[in-house]
Structure 1
Amino acid sequence: MEAVIETAASCVGSAQSAAQTVFVAENVGKSFGPTQVLKNISLSIREGERVAVIGPSGAGKTTLFRLLCAVLKPSEGRITALGHDTGHLRGNALRGLRREIGILYQNDNLIPHLRVVHNVLMGHLGHWSLPRAILSLLWPQDLAGARKALGEVELSEKLWSMPGELSGGQQQRVAIARLMVQQPRVMLADEPVSQLDIRLGREIIALLSDIASRMGTTLLVNLHTLELLEGHFERVIALREGRLFWQGAPSEINRELLLELYGAEYRAMHLDDVVLSAKV
């Protein structure tokens, strides 16, 4: 397995000259008190790439995402995000980086007492002045932009709805529309479909992949359900016990690898039922 990791790492390194990298992690570790969550992570993500991150519970997937978007700083090593060393960013420079990175969470993070249009226009907050943001709460300042983004996720008719009137899948689509308004260079989706059934999950992942392709945006998705890999990702990164376990094309995943990766979770996740024919 170490040989596989070394081979994959060398392939990633040789590809860096072909496309600009948006993220580079160099020997990254992250600890919370005495607990080391990530250990010696080295990887890179190219601009425009679509990458899925998989691994068992507690593998460090969410922590990795928080490091990439500079919500957390590494305890060891260095992360370069969009050309910036995240460990040294402060103030306006840090806010500027976060404007370029859109995040989709497990929960849609909509504000329940604001209408859909206002939630979508939250994507502008990193660019608008405070007076304009406050004014937009009284009357939406980019109504056409909000309507267009909602049209892209097939929710034009929900412009003036309240979030509580929407289904879980619709709420996540509103969150995606908010990302489209933000116009980030990178989209990080942290288990965005964990609370949806498999049919809705497929719809959301397909929508994210399609939007990322059309916008030319880099997409990283933390996935718990492996059925959702099919057809949407160029590369898969697997974490186990805080370490980089494997990376490669979805079509290279096999039962032996999944059994070693997930261990005791393999049967609980019904991975014997997963069809391993993923192709981009």
Structure 2
Amino acid sequence: MKPFPADQAPAPVHIAGGAVAYGGTRVLDGIDLSVAAGERVAVIGPSGAGKTTLFRLIAGLARPAAGRVQTLGQDTARLSGRRLARLRREVGYLHQQDNLIPQLRVVHNVLMGRLGHWWLARALLSLLWPQELDRARAALARVELEDKLWALPDELSGGQQQRVAVARLVVQQPRLVLADEPVSALDLRLGREIIALLCDLAQRDGVTLLVNLHTLDLLQGHFDRVVALRAGRLFWQGRPEELSQHLLRELYGAEYRALHLDEMALPA
């Protein structure tokens, strides 16, 4: 198992021999992965490869069955209570669904990103009188939805709802963002917009970004590195331009044609 680097500042993500087991079965095993500060990484692989489990491991939502996981300088296996809560405040998690609360207006949903920074009394008060209103308005302006401040989620399109979720990340001010298939429910055009927003957030705010991608058309022009998982193990990693049809056929197997990966303009 590779040791953590001792002569430099810890990477935002450093996994050495990481494994996760459910019911005695390892769904991740032997993962060695480091992600540098400010790096933008796309995680790809077939269904069941362990991509979501990897994100849960990094976020401290899943405990390692073996190895060590260091997130933002913290050994996640040793965290609990307030220390774990502090870590999760600094890790923004964008799920496949936007997870907006339909009964609350956009402003309240955006300000959910501040809950980790507020005392309970202020959080409750914000439901009646939104706190840090200027912060919420500025975040919505960054995703071009400032005019939707008082709208309800069901008044928005799917792309707009996911933009609200990105604005929630902006007000959270995380150091690390994990986006788990954030555009799987959107068409390709809207997907490109959301990925561009996330990468802009990472670049402008100095945030480290990992995105679990199902649609590989969104890779080019956005990411510094691609990490590929297969059957719970690290299969390949490299720059997006190093991908090839041969590699994708080997990685995706039976899913290769179903995902139309043969239509991608890549070297054979």
TM-score bracket, shorter-length normalisation: over 0.9
Residue 174 of structure 1 aligns to a residue whose secondary structure is helix
Contact 1:227 1:275 (8 Å CA) reproduced: no
Kindly tell me: are residues 59 and 87 of structure 1, through their superposed partners in 2, closer, same or farther at Cα, counting changes over 3 Å?
same
Kindly tell me: are residues 253 and 17 of structure 1, through their superposed partners in 2, closer, same or farther at Cα, counting changes over 3 Å?
farther
Structure 1 position 272, deviation (Å)? 1.0
| 1:159 to 2:149 alignment | yes
Kindly tell me: are residues 108 and 25 of structure 1, through their superposed partners in 2, closer, same or farther at Cα, counting changes over 3 Å?
same
Paired with 2:85 and 2:101, the residues of 1 have a C-alpha distance of 21
Paired with 2:31 and 2:260, the residues of 1 have a C-alpha distance of 28
Corresponding pairs, count: 265
Structure 1 position 35, deviation (Å)? 2.1
The match for 2:186 is 196
Paired with 2:156 and 2:264, the residues of 1 have a C-alpha distance of 31
Gaps spanning 5+ residues in structure 2: where? none
The residue correspondences of 1:6-25 to structure 2 (distance < 5 A) are 20-25=10-15
| 1:64 to 2:44 alignment | no
Q: Deviations over 1:30-87 (max 9, x none)?
A: 1101321001101101110000000000000000000000011111111011111100
Residue 62 of structure 2 aligns to a residue whose secondary structure is coil
The match for 1:175 is 165
Which residue of the other structure, out of 206, 214, 234, is the alignment partner of 1:216?
Answer: 206
Structure 1 segments (4+ residues) deviating >2 Å: 16-20
Give the letter aligned to residue 23 of structure 1.
Answer: V
Residue 245 of structure 1 aligns to a residue whose secondary structure is strand
- Percent identity reads 65
Paired with 2:7 and 2:203, the residues of 1 have a C-alpha distance of 21
Paired with 1:93 and 1:35, the residues of 2 have a C-alpha distance of 29
Which residue of the other structure, out of 38, 43, 57, is the alignment partner of 1:48?
Answer: 38
Q: TM-score, normalization: structure 2?
A: 0.96
Structure 1 position 211, deviation (Å)? 1.3
The residue correspondences of 1:23-34 to structure 2 (distance < 5 A) are 23-34=13-24
Which residue of the other structure, out of 89, 107, 120, is the alignment partner of 2:110?
Answer: 120
The match for 1:5 is none
Paired with 2:143 and 2:8, the residues of 1 have a C-alpha distance of 32
Residue 48 of structure 1 aligns to a residue whose secondary structure is coil
The residue correspondences of 1:120-159 to structure 2 (distance < 5 A) are 120-159=110-149
The match for 2:82 is 92
Q: TM-score, normalization: structure 1?
A: 0.92
Structure 1 position 274, deviation (Å)? 1.4
Give the letter aligned to residue 122 of structure 1.
Answer: M
Paired with 2:197 and 2:7, the residues of 1 have a C-alpha distance of 29
Paired with 1:83 and 1:186, the residues of 2 have a C-alpha distance of 12
Structure 1 position 19, deviation (Å)? 7.0
Which residue of the other structure, out of 224, 243, 247, is the alignment partner of 2:233?
Answer: 243
Contact 2:10 2:72 (8 Å CA) reproduced: no
Paired with 2:223 and 2:53, the residues of 1 have a C-alpha distance of 21
Structure 1 position 132, deviation (Å)? 0.4
Contact 1:110 1:171 (8 Å CA) reproduced: yes
The match for 1:276 is 266
Contact 2:38 2:203 (8 Å CA) reproduced: yes
Paired with 1:115 and 1:237, the residues of 2 have a C-alpha distance of 37
Structure 1 position 275, deviation (Å)? 2.3
Q: Deviations over 1:127-162 (max 9, x none)?
A: 100000000000101110000000000000000000
The match for 1:225 is 215
Contact 2:10 2:73 (8 Å CA) reproduced: no
